């Protein structure tokens, strides 16, 4: 190689050795006489000194060096003079006294600092992503990504899993999002779909007898972009035969635990992973992806308010809705402006408003027994009996100084509002412990969700998920009551993985398609081959697919998954570096039998 050591490697034990290093000029300091270069490569930074008295020609070349020039230097490792060591750098006890230098390439002045993580417009960073990747944070994220994926591969390999690639150009799979489509040149008017996940293919690998499969699988979904979404993303896709829920969840718990303890030992996690049913998380947190690093749990106070004359509560309860809330410790003195900000969050979810009840502290009040009703500040207070107020505060286990936020209305809406408020307050009250991964297993999801727009059932997960054996008789009679053998892994408020035990029998699979409203011909056209495979000795099987980008986003405490991907797209699904998507030539359109309609 053009170097003998990397830039993160040398220590005082190397003193006196002659070495060759190569890398980028990270920083240059000219001390009128001595020139200091911080030389950077992937592994770190080493200080190089050019002394005009020892070697005049390299020194004069060094005078012309600018940031990001690519150079090679030859020199001797020397312990730094005492008092000049840099304890922040692993190589900070030594420097290289350069005797030779070669410039491999100059560099234009980069459009942003590489040697400082100064915030600049993200589109500039994305346009010059290869330069942003030189910055320490992104570089470290990518190196961590490599180690995480390698850990997963080794872990699964040791347990008998086989890595198998599945095609990228497939027939559309129903995962609930829009497909990215690829037009076929040889089949006019026909399209491949990019996989939203290799779901059917991995099930077919079980039919094929592989028993334990995994793949670092790229998935493509044409959805609106968010901080934790990209049009293409990576899952650790896995599938096993002859297993039940416990086998999959046990494997995943062991994998995540040992991965974090080995690869990111600075991060703590709860062991064993807590478990909740879907009904329980919805009740306690109003969402199926709660951040359980903190409490602020939702409480239902509908039962206390059945005879309430307060219009907001009354109309909610009359319309089969609910009244629920959360208690914010120590927030009773929130200003009008702060309450307004929280109310705005509720409005953005579709609520008309939010009811707050502040229990202002003081005057010897210690608990509900010593509560002075006039200390409760709320528009609802005058409509409520003292007993009701006390009961409400008791449900929330409130103390003087607390603020209770209450939402009333349709249960789905109320849950949405309280989930948003919980998340916001978790941040504002600093309740989200850093460097802590709070995993949660959720089980017992409903198999179907009612889609009010289509007036039909949708799969909560996907149509291949098996129902609870005991609930099969309900499939036709009461589909909404059927529980699914579906499990999710949630971490710090993000859905990290979904998976399920699958249907492995044709008749049951057909019945589920039928409940989902697929016409017979449609099922045949879309899933005929898959259904046929189930008739050739399909074993019982199940799997899961943890999102690798989301996992890394959490491990690196990043705000977006863009920070853990080498070349992500922006919020508008464009790649600003290569300018994709872009128009294609008329010739290409013709070959693909396509005509663009501009509207
Ligand atoms: N294919 C599913 C998904 O992408 C995961 C699974 O069921 O294994 O969510």
Six token digits for residue 554: 């959490």
Cis status of the peptide bond prior to 272, with omega within 30 of 0: yes
- The ligand 1 atom nearest the CA atom of 196: 4
CA-based nearest residue to 297, from 310, 287, 306, 307:
287
Q: What pLDDT was estimated at residue 384? A: 87
| Eight-class DSSP state of 560 | S
Q: What pLDDT was estimated at residue 174? A: 62
Six token digits for residue 549: 């980008």
Instruction: Quickly count: other Cβ atoms within 10 Å of residue 375's Cβ.
Output: 16
Ligand 1 pocket, residue 495 CB under 6 Å: no
Instruction: Give backbone dihedrals phi and psi of 52, rounded to 5 degrees, phi first.
Output: -60, -25
Point out the residues of the chain with pLDDT beneath 50.
none
Residue nearest to atom 7 of ligand 1 (CA): 499
Q: What pLDDT was estimated at residue 55? A: 84
Contacts of 277 (CB under 8 A, 6+ apart): 442, 443, 444
Q: What pLDDT was estimated at residue 105? A: 97
Model confidence, pTM: 0.93
Give the residue, out of 195, 499, 502, 549, with the most ligand 1 atoms within 8 A of its beta carbon, to mutate for a pocket test.
499
| Eight-class DSSP state of 575 | B
User: Are 552 and 251 a contacting pair, CB within 8 Å?
Assistant: no
pLDDT tens readout for residues 326-365: 999 999 999 999 999 999 999 999 988 899 999 988 777 7
Q: How many residues does the chain have?
A: 599
Residue 488 to residue 392: CA distance in whole angstroms? 33
Strands 44-50 and 94-105: parallel
Residue nearest to atom 4 of ligand 1 (CA): 197
Contacts of 44 (CB under 8 A, 6+ apart): 6, 7, 8, 9, 89, 90, 91
Six token digits for residue 290: 């709660």
Instruction: Quickly count: other Cβ atoms within 10 Å of residue 306's Cβ.
Output: 10
Residue 386 to residue 430: CA distance in whole angstroms? 33
Six token digits for residue 130: 């290869």
Please state, in angstroms and as integers, the Cα–Cα distance from residue 354 to each residue in 66, 288, 324, 371, 409, following that order: 58, 22, 11, 23, 11
- The ligand 1 atom nearest the CA atom of 198: 1
Residue 351 DSSP SS3:
coil
Q: What pLDDT was estimated at residue 77? A: 98
Distance of CA 51 to the CA centre of its chain: 50
- The ligand 1 atom nearest the CA atom of 237: 8
Ligand 1 pocket, residue 544 CB under 6 Å: yes
Give the residue, out of 218, 220, 237, with the most ligand 1 atoms within 8 A of its beta carbon, to mutate for a pocket test.
237
In which residue are the tokens 């505060």 written?
A: 393
CA-based nearest residue to 348, from 336, 358, 340:
340
- H or E element: which one contains 101? strand 94-105
Q: What pLDDT was estimated at residue 6? A: 98
Q: What pLDDT was estimated at residue 56? A: 86
């Amino acid at each position: 190689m053009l170097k003998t050591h990397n830039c993160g490697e040398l220590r005082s034990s190397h003193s006196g050795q002659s070495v060759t290093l190569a890398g980028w000029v990270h920083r240059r300091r000219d001390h009128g006489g001595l020139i200091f270069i911080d030389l950077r490569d992937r592994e770190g930074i080493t200080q190089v000194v050019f002394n005009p008295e020892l070697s005049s020609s390299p020194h004069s070349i060094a005078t012309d060096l600018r940031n990001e020039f690519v150079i090679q230097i030859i020199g001797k490792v020397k312990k730094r003079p005492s008092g000049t060591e840099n304890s922040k750098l692993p190589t900070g006890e030594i420097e290289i006294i350069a005797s030779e230098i070669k410039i491999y390439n100059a560099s234009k002045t980069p459009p942003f600092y590489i040697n400082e993580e100064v915030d600049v417009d993200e589109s500039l960073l994305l346009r010059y992503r290869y330069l942003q990747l030189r910055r320490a944070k992104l570089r470290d994220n990518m190196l961590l990504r490599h180690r995480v994926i390698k850990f997963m591969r080794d872990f699964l390999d040791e347990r008998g899993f086989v890595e198998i690639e599945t095609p990228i150009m497939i027939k559309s799979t129903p995962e609930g999002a829009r497909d990215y489509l690829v037009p076929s040149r040889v089949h006019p008017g026909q399209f491949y779909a990019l996989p939203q996940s290799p779901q059917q293919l991995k099930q077919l690998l079980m039919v094929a007898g592989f028993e334990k499969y995994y793949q670092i699988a790229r998935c493509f979904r044409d959805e609106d972009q968010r901080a934790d979404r990209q049009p293409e993303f990576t899952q650790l896709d896995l599938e096993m035969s002859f297993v039940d829920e416990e086998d999959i969840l046990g494997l995943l718990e062991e994998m995540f635990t040992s991965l974090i303890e080995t690869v990111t030992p600075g991060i703590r996690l709860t062991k064993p992973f807590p478990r909740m049913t879907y009904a329980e998380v919805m009740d306690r947190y109003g969402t199926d992806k709660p951040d359980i690093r903190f409490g602020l749990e939702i409480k239902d106070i509908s039962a206390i308010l059945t005879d309430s004359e307060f219009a907001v509560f009354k109309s909610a309860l009359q319309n089969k809705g609910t009244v629920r809330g959360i208690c914010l410790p120590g927030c009773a003195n929130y200003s009008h402006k702060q309450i307004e900000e929280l109310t705005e969050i509720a409005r953005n979810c579709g609520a008309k408003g939010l009811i707050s009840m502040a229990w202002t502290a003081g005057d010897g009040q210690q608990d509900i027994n010593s509560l002075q009703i006039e200390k409760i500040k709320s528009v609802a207070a005058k409509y409520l009996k003292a007993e009701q107020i006390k009961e409400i505060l008791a449900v929330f286990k409130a103390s003087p100084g607390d603020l209770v936020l209450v939402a009333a209305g349709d249960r789905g809406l109320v849950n949405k509002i309280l989930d948003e408020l919980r998340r916001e307050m978790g941040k504002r009250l600093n309740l989200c412990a850093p460097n802590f991964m709070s995993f949660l297993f959720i089980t017992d999801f409903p198999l179907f969700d009612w889609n009010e727009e289509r007036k039909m059932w949708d799969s909560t997960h996907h149509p291949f998920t098996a129902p609870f054996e005991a609930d099969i008789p309900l499939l036709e009679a009461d589909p909404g009551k059927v529980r699914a053998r579906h499990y999710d892994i949630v971490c710090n408020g993000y859905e990290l993985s979904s998976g399920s035990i699958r249907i492995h029998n044709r008749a049951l699979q057909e019945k589920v398609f039928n409940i989902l409203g697929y016409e017979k011909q449609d099922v045949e056209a879309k899933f005929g081959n898959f259904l046929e495979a189930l008739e050739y000795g399909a074993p019982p099987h199940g799997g899961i697919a943890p999102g690798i980008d989301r996992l890394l986003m959490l491990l690196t405490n990043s705000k977006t998954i863009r920070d853990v991907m080498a070349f992500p797209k922006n919020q508008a699904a464009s790649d600003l570096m290569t300018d994709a998507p872009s128009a294609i030539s008329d010739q290409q359109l013709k070959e693909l039998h396509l005509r663009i309609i501009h509207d």
